[in-house]
Amino acid sequence: MRAQEKSQWPGHPPVASHDSGGGRKTQGLGVFGFVLIAYLFSWAVWISNYYVKGFIEIDIGTFWIKAPRRLVIGMIGTFGPGIAALFAVGRESGTRGLRELFRSLVPRSLKWIAAAVLAPTSLLIISFVCAGYSVGYFNSVSMEHWIRLVAVNVPLEPLWEEVGWRGYLLPKLQSKFRGLSAAMIVGAIWGSWHLPLHVTVVSPRIGQVTYFMCFLIYVLGFSIIFTWFYNKSLGNLGVLVALHASLNATATALLGPAMAEHGLWPFVLFIIAVWAACLIVLFVAGTDLSCPRQPASLGSSPDGVKSS
């Protein structure tokens, strides 16, 4: 018997429940299986990459960067959520689900793309201005350089993470929980997934434990914002990839230099601005974060089995 499927958004893979015949349901990969594959792939790459030495130079026209080989090779580890999602969607919804997943990556609204690209930098600028930091941090980065950083990021970590975290995991959870609860679960999984990276690359000046705890709070806040963007854009992953790429570019070009000079405090200010934005989103959108509730007859549990 065909899997019973429903898609919450246009151009998004359906949340499927599988019936093998005779009324017996068989589970898809499910949330646990997806998280397990994402973590195993990423952590295996990152941990094995610990002893890699040396640097690699990347020269693209006028854009030049010299980065540790560990960082570049470790980028492969960020493909984990996307690989897990492709496997999960293919297993649960077949080629139809994969086509819908790829379709959801195509931007459908320039308005939401623009908002996504501007949001992280705007929050950082607001936090710095309120703290009285010099505008020199912003003057030192040209618009052209920042746009290049965003563009270079798109096909790497943002694409592969968003296919996993928001392309597969979030809709699974939102079919069972309210938007805020789903965002918190995704944020906890998303933040903890970065742990091996922070063990190896965090500056001793800040301290691994302190920084990682701040990072988790930061990711939880942005998970709320990402979930709201996801729901308002009707599950358009292209918007989320743009948001993630802009966040990475902002952290690299603006937040990083400020932290190098002032330590952890600029990051704390950014976190405060992020959570202030979260409060505004919750006030406007409610705890569903603008996600319409599912009809009870179409409800689906996070493991992909249709609710009875």
**Lowest-confidence region among 48-52, 104-108, 256-260, 273-277:** 48-52
Which position has the higher pLDDT, 138 or 130?
130
**% of the chain residues with pLDDT over 70:** 73
Residue 299 has pLDDT above 50, yes or no: no
CA nearest to 77, candidates 179, 187, 199: 199
At residue 107, the 3 state secondary structure works out as: coil
Residue 22 contacts residue 308 (beta carbons within 8 Å): no
**Lowest-confidence region among 136-145, 188-197, 239-248:** 136-145
The domains of the chain are located at 4-298
- Distance between CA atoms of residues 172 and 138, nearest Å: 39
Phi-psi region of 94 (alpha: psi -120 to 50; beta: other; left: phi over 0): left
| 177-187 mean pLDDT | 95
Residue 305 has pLDDT above 90, yes or no: no
Residue 216 has pLDDT above 70, yes or no: yes
Residue 255 has pLDDT above 70, yes or no: yes
Q: pLDDT tens digit string along 98-107?
A: 999 999 999 8
Most confident of 61-70, 239-248, 254-263: 239-248
pLDDT at 7: 53
Residue 202 has pLDDT above 80, yes or no: no
pTM exceeds 0.85 for this model: no
